[in-house]
Amino acid sequence: MRSMAVPVLVATTMLLAVSSSATSANGVRVVADETHRRVDITIDGQPFTSYIWPVSLKKPVLYPLVSDEGITVTRGFPLDPQPGERVDHPHHAGLWFNYGNANGFDFWNNSDAIKPESRAKMGSVVFKKILSTRSGTDTGELVVESTWVTGENQPILEQTTRYIFSSRNHARVIDQVVTLKALDRVVFNDDKEGLLGMRVAHWLESPDEKGGIFIDANGRPTKVDAGKTSDATGVYLTSEGVKGETAWATQGRWCSLTGRTGNHTVTIAIFDSPNNPGYPTYWHARGYGLFAANPLGRSIFDPKQPAFNFTIEKNQTAVFHYRIILYSRDASVDELNQEADTFTTKYK
């Protein structure tokens, strides 16, 4: 545990240092610190998030995610454990992008908890380089490159991710544009573990979550404890009007998660794009705090459907567009629908 916590204890300290040194800085600042394996993003001098690639993780992530009122919406474990949190699924850290079965390798479930004899079946998304950063009055941008490497040490995908950070009307926005270039023919076999995922803070879990044993696509069980639910207030809602834990395995162009902590209400919303493969996405949204959009696991979520098995041929590319918004309020259905319309036109 000590080795996993150290990188983000340093990360948290660094982010606070950035905040304190930039309190008078207006706009969106994107500041790279490759020595500490991170890029810090602040808005008007206050922490928003950091792009990090600590040695304890098997993929880069955005961590933590903080609202404009200073409320952290992501779980601390395994990077910076907080009192009362669930400690299951050590691969659930911050906001990430990967998949559970690409050419038979599991990129989603990989972590230091995987037994040595199983590691050859796993995959890692390996940070390669920062391509560019830009700070600005209204928006900031970060473009990074990484490589999907199998447990047999074979690179199969080159990933270029463009993040656009902004804020407006008590909301913070991340547009994420992911371009995957196949270095070999890559098949994303139907799997529930994907694609854009985040693990939320304890208070955003469902008050109805009872825990249990969750089995991944490779048959590995993970026990999720029942946990304390007295302060859990999270409720999912999809664009199709599906509410609560029944949102899991349904489709929609957006899904929101709203909860309260103290006097603060926060809504996290993820928006899908009609240009994405598999649109509209299935929502891999669990009451214990996993909030994910998975457009590639069609038959896993609906056994009546044929397998999608989305494929990128060698040297070809696929592009995915997502918008993630942290609202410091209970966002209305009309507001979320309007946002989805705006997002649709932005990346036509």
Comparing CA positions, the residue from 135, 104, 138 lying closest to residue 122 is 104
Report the pLDDT value the prediction gives residue 218, as an integer from 0 to 100: 62
In this predicted structure, what is the pLDDT of residue 2? 33
Q: Which residues are paired to 114 by β-bridges?
A: none
- Return the pLDDT at 269: 99
CB neighbour list of residue 201: distance below 8 Å, 6 or more residues apart: 72, 73, 74, 75, 76, 82, 85, 261, 289
Which residue type, as a one-letter code, is found at position 191? D
With a CB cutoff of 8 Å and minimum separation 6, the contacts of 253 are 239, 271, 272, 274, 279, 280, 281, 340
- Single out the residue of 343, 326, 342, 339 nearest to residue 291, CA to CA: 326
- Compute the distance between CA of residue 40 and CA of residue 13 in angstroms, rounded to an integer: 11
Cα first-last separation, the chain: 45
pLDDT at 214 (0 to 100)? 58
* Residue whose pair of structure tokens reads 């009192």 in the numeric block: 83
Say what the pTM is.
0.90
Per-residue pLDDT, 213: 66
Is beta strand 235-238 parallel, antiparallel or unpaired with respect to 186-188? unpaired
Amino acid sitting at position 71: I
| Residue 254 Cα distances to 85, 163, 233, 266, 321, angstroms | 27, 19, 20, 16, 13
pLDDT per residue as tens, the chain (348 positions): 333 333 444 345 445 544 444 445 799 999 999 999 999 999 999 999 999 999 999 999 999 999 999 999 999 999 999 998 999 999 999 999 999 999 999 999 999 999 999 999 999 999 999 999 999 999 999 999 999 999 999 999 999 999 999 999 999 999 999 999 999 999 999 999 999 999 999 999 999 987 666 566 566 667 666 666 779 999 999 999 999 999 999 999 999 999 999 999 999 999 999 999 999 999 999 999 999 999 999 999 999 999 999 999 999 999 999 999 999 999 999 999 999 999 999 876
State the SS3 of 256-311.
Answer: EEEEEECCEEEEEEEECCCCCCCCCCEEEECCCCEEEEECCCHHHHCCCCCCCCEE
pLDDT of residue 223: 62
Adjacent-strand bridge partners of 55: none
Q: What is the pLDDT of residue 178?
A: 98
DSSP assignment, residue 137?
Answer: S
